[in-house]
Amino acid sequence: MSASVIGGKAFAEGLRARIAEAVPAFVKRVGRKPGLAVVLVGDDPASRVYVRSKGKATVEAGMESYEHVLPETTSQAELVALVQKLNGDDGVDGILVQLPLPSHIDDKAVIDTIDPAKDVDGFHIDNVGKLSVGEEALVPCTPLGCIMLLKDRLGDLSGLEAVVIGRSNIVGKPMAQLLLKENCTVTVAHSRTRDLPDVVRRGDIVVAAVGRPEMVKGEWLKSGATVIDVGINRVDGKLVGDVDFESASRTAGAITPVPGGVGPMTIAVLLRNTLAAAHARAGLSGPEGL
What is the spatial distance between Cα 275 and Cα 30, in angstroms, rounded to a whole number? 12
List b or e across 116-152, with b for residues whose CB sees 16 or more CB atoms inside 10 angstroms: bbbbbbbbbeebbebbeeeeebbbbbbbbbbbbbbee
Catalytic residue chosen out of the listed positions 54, 118, 173, 222: 54
CA dist 259 and 218 (Å) reads 19
Specify whether 121 is catalytic.
yes
Question: 93, 115, 119, 121: which one is catalytic?
Answer: 121
With CA atoms as reference, report the closest residue to 187 among 204, 224, 256, 158: 204
Report the chain's terminal Cα–Cα distance, integer Å: 33
Classify residue 29 by burial, with Cβ atoms within 10 Å: 0-12, 13-18, 19+.
Answer: exposed
Q: In what order do the strands lie in the sheet with 35-41?
A: 64-70, 35-41, 94-97
The closest of 25, 42, 45, 43 to 33, measured between CA atoms, is: 25
Angle between helix 45-60 and helix 8-30 axes, rounded to 10 deg: 50
Residue 114 half-sphere exposure toward CB, CA atoms < 13 A: 28
Distance CA 5, CA 196 (A): 24
Known catalytic residue: 54? yes
Tell me if 93 sits within 8 A of 48, measured CB to CB.
no
* E-state strands within 209-262: 226-229, 233-235, 238-240, 254-255
The answer to whether 216 touches 244, Cβ cutoff 8 Å, is yes
Which one of the listed residues 93, 98, 118, 119 is annotated catalytic? Answer: 98
Q: Which residues are catalytic?
A: 54, 98, 121
